[in-house]
Amino acid sequence: MSDHVSAAASGHFRIGGELPVVRLGYGAMQITGDGVWGWPEDREGAIAVLRRAVELGVTFIDTADSYGPTVSEELIAEALRPYADDLVIATKAGLVRTGPGEWIPVGHPAYLRQQAELSLRRLGVEALDLFQLHRVDPAFPLEDQVGELKKLQEEGKVRHIGLSEVSLGQLQEAREVAEIATVQNLFNLVKRDAEPLLDYCDAEGIGFIPWFPLATGELAGADGPLAQASRDHGAEPSQLALAWLLRRSPVVLPIPGTKTVAHLETNVAAAGIELSDEEYAALDAVR
């Protein structure tokens, strides 16, 4: 499998029915320091990964204000401005950081607005292509949290609204307040609790962004559940896991993240894998 397959081979999806992206994207959480905290040890390496992603045809980059915090957004701006016309940058707000590996939901509407304004400033854009509520904060009504994102959208500061780690009921409730373009939940070959949510998104044309699409390496180990299939197919286990996600539904937008160019190229090459019906069924049976 070539390391230089274009991500465009994964196909395209229109966020909110109008904003086109290449389906295989890049998740920019891992370009920060340990514990998603502070600057990476290899800052130039992180910038190289971002630039290489775009060279390989990636047009969808997912980040968040809390990655670093602020570090991921700042690196994206440093590496990629002026942005390509077809580049879509999604960010999130709703989690605060009190230290490495610590994440606390804060959904106060005024806080969400502040973070949107700061993301606009850091990314250097006039509008956020996709602004996602990172977590629903139980301390505030969901309608107030989504309602603030709706106000930002009406003001032209947000193009599309997304949700992260929500239940089907929460998604349906949020849709009473605003148009929801995407949902981002944990989902991969061995973690499929969100399957009913994905089926709903598929039926409704809502983009589904699976985070941890490779289960942080669990699927890709030499003795992992994909080992035999990868030997039979002549591809890396991680590539097959991504190919399965892409085949699972046309609304799925995988965003594998990495700190290295070599790993990025391996991930993007998964866009060129076409699973047969038999191969897909065999992977689908992995649990």
Q: What is the tens place of the pLDDT at every residue in 218-254?
A: 666 677 667 777 887 788 888 999 999 999 999 999 9
Domain coverage including residue 102: 8-214+250-257
Question: What confidence score (pLDDT) does residue 226 get?
Answer: 75
Asked whether residue 157 is assigned to any structural domain, the reply reads yes
How far apart are alpha carbons 22 and 10 in whole angstroms? 7
Asked whether residue 286 is assigned to any structural domain, the reply reads no
Question: What confidence score (pLDDT) does residue 230 get?
Answer: 80
Question: What confidence score (pLDDT) does residue 219 get?
Answer: 65
Residue 78 has pLDDT above 90, yes or no: yes
In this prediction, what percent of the chain has a pLDDT beyond 70? 95
**CATH number, domain with residue 126:** 3.20.20.100
Asked whether residue 111 is assigned to any structural domain, the reply reads yes
- CB of 68 within 8 A of CB of 99? no
Kindly state the average pLDDT of the residues 261-271. 96
Q: Which of 133-142, 256-265, 275-284 has the lowest mean pLDDT?
A: 275-284
Kindly state the average pLDDT of the residues 26-43. 98
Asked whether residue 140 is assigned to any structural domain, the reply reads yes
If pLDDT is split at 50, 70 and 90, which confidence band does 214 have?
Answer: confident
Kindly state the average pLDDT of the residues 4-8. 93
Residue 3 has pLDDT above 50, yes or no: no
Q: Could you confirm whether 67 is annotated as catalytic? A: yes
Residue 266 has pLDDT above 70, yes or no: yes
Catalytic residue among 26, 67, 83, 200: 67
Asked whether residue 95 is assigned to any structural domain, the reply reads yes
Asked whether residue 14 is assigned to any structural domain, the reply reads yes
The mean pLDDT value of the chain amounts to: 94
Asked whether residue 245 is assigned to any structural domain, the reply reads no
Residue 217 is classified by DSSP as: G
Output the 3-class SS for 61-126.
EECCCCCECCHHHHHHHHHHCCCCCCCEEEEEECEECCCCCCCEECCCHHHHHHHHHHHHHHHCCC
If pLDDT is split at 50, 70 and 90, which confidence band does 2 have?
Answer: very low
Asked whether residue 194 is assigned to any structural domain, the reply reads yes
Burial 250-268 (b: 16+ CB within 10 A, else e): ebbbbbbbbeebebbbbbb
- Name, in order, each residue with C-beta under 8 angstroms of 115's C-beta and a sequence gap of 6 or more: 65, 93, 94
How far apart are alpha carbons 84 and 126 in whole angstroms? 15
Kindly state the average pLDDT of the residues 115-140. 98
Question: What confidence score (pLDDT) does residue 126 get?
Answer: 98
Question: What confidence score (pLDDT) does residue 243 get?
Answer: 94
Question: What confidence score (pLDDT) does residue 1 get?
Answer: 42
Question: What confidence score (pLDDT) does residue 220 get?
Answer: 62
How far apart are alpha carbons 125 and 102 in whole angstroms? 28
Q: 3-state class of 204 per DSSP?
A: helix
Q: Which among 188, 187, 190 is positioned nearest to 287, based on CA atoms?
A: 190
Model's pTM, two decimal places?
Answer: 0.95
Number of C-beta neighbours around residue 69 at 10 A: 19
Kindly state the average pLDDT of the residues 108-126. 98
Query: How many domains does one find in the chain?
Result: 1
